[in-house]
Amino acid sequence: MISILNADLHCHSVVSDGTLTPEALAERAKTNGVELWALTDHDEIGGQQRAAAAAAAQGMHYLTGVEISVTFIGQTVHIVGLGFDADNAALKAGLAQTRGGRGQRAHDMAAGLAKVGINDAYEGALKFAGNHDLISRTHFARFLVESGVCKETNEVFRKYLTEGKPGYVEHRWATLKDAVTWITEAGGMAVIAHPARYKFSANQEFALFTEFKGHGGQGVEVVTGSHTPAEYLSYADTAREYGLAASRGSDFHSPAESHTELGTLPYLPGQLTPVWELLADKIQHAPV
Ligand code: AMP
Ligand code: MN
Ligand code: MN
Ligand code: MN
């Protein structure tokens, strides 16, 4: 298989913090020319059956997907899983455990926001959550935009939901080892999501990549909606340096909020092993 494939292996539905259903995403992906698709909701695989069925209905190839929240040396890192068995019991239990802390965290976030005069944010955010087990900062951001506190979700994150801001709550997610193990033992491939987004020093980034590989991780996102074109190239180098396969995904969440549309990013740079090459036997092929 080749690098020149319109694969979009990272996006979110109403099952986590996206605003579209799996079916609407599949239709949108198809319209944009996506050939191989994966829905990667945060910490949740409840949308996988619908996504796979919708992909088949649209004539797209499909890989199962998830994006797991991890805490690594004090920072949140996202690990994408692709091509796993969605019925795997250990993976499902691990994800349930990872989701488990979100309810209390949301109450704590609302308490922080109440201190600066923003009331009833828990109830407000919950209204935006399609899946009440998966209340996220994005749902708070939508509530604060709806209530006129901010003009757009980016501004909410900057002013209220990031470290040091009133609605930010320290949280401990899954360990890197657990997330990679859950994915790989379910037959899938673990992929470091949007590496340029993290605020690691060079040594810390080295630790992330080295430990990730040590636990059995095999891929890294190179072309993602979170990277600049210069970062596509620098993480293509990183992928080659660490012997990791390369992934491509928009990280699309919502027509109103996302800057990157499904299936519209550049192709992977050359001289890389695309993740779909190693996952060939996990692809659910479109009916002919
Ligand atoms: P959580 O898992 O609850 O911490 O929420 C993380 C989600 O918030 C990410 O997956 C993004 O969808 C969203 N997010 C994080 N930072 C920003 C930002 N600066 N602007 C808009 N959305 C963001
Ligand atoms: Mn998100
Ligand atoms: Mn992410
Ligand atoms: Mn994402």
CA-based angle 137:132:21, to the nearest 5?
A: 85
Helix 229-242 to helix 202-214 angle (10° resolution) is 50
User: How many distinct structural domains can be found in the chain?
Assistant: 2
Do 107 and 91 lie in one domain? The reply is: no
Q: Give the pLDDT confidence score for residue 258 in this predicted structure.
A: 86
CB 22 within 8 A of CB 288: no
Structural domain contains residue 77: yes
Can you list the residues of the chain whose pLDDT is less than 70?
A: 1-2
Do 120 and 189 lie in one domain? The reply is: no
pLDDT tens by residue, 90-102: 999 999 999 999 9
Closest protein CA for atom 16 of ligand 1: 157
Sheet arrangement for strand 7-8: 7-8, 36-37, 61-62
CA of 117 relative to ligand 4 center, distance in Å = 30
Residue with tokens 């012997």: 243
Do 216 and 275 lie in one domain? The reply is: yes
Do 150 and 24 lie in one domain? The reply is: no
Q: Is 271 left (phi over 0), alpha (psi -120 to 50) or beta?
A: left
Q: What is the CATH number of the domain that holds 120?
A: 1.10.150.650
pTM (global) more than 0.85:
yes
Q: Give the pLDDT confidence score for residue 181 in this predicted structure.
A: 99
CA of 10 relative to ligand 4 center, distance in Å = 6
Do 60 and 203 lie in one domain? The reply is: yes
Structural domain contains residue 46: yes
Domain coverage including residue 154: 102-161
Q: Give the pLDDT confidence score for residue 3 in this predicted structure.
A: 73
Our answer on whether the CB atom of 69 is closer than 6 Å to any ligand 1 atom is yes
Q: Give the pLDDT confidence score for residue 200 in this predicted structure.
A: 98
pLDDT tens by residue, 101-115: 999 999 999 999 999
d(CA 10, CA 32) in angstroms, rounded, equals 15
Last residue of a domain, one of 122, 141, 161: 161
pLDDT tens by residue, 5-20: 999 999 999 999 999 9
Structural domain contains residue 117: yes
Structural domain contains residue 276: yes
Q: What is the CATH number of the domain that holds 38?
A: 3.20.20.140
CA of 287 relative to ligand 3 center, distance in Å = 31
Q: Give the pLDDT confidence score for residue 40 in this predicted structure.
A: 99
Q: Give the pLDDT confidence score for residue 2 in this predicted structure.
A: 61
Per-residue tokens: 133: 């087990």
Q: Give the pLDDT confidence score for residue 81 in this predicted structure.
A: 99
Last residue of a domain, one of 161, 180, 205: 161
Structural domain contains residue 288: no
Q: Give the pLDDT confidence score for residue 222 in this predicted structure.
A: 98
* Nearest ligand to the C-alpha atom of residue 10: 4
Our answer on whether the CB atom of 138 is closer than 6 Å to any ligand 1 atom is yes
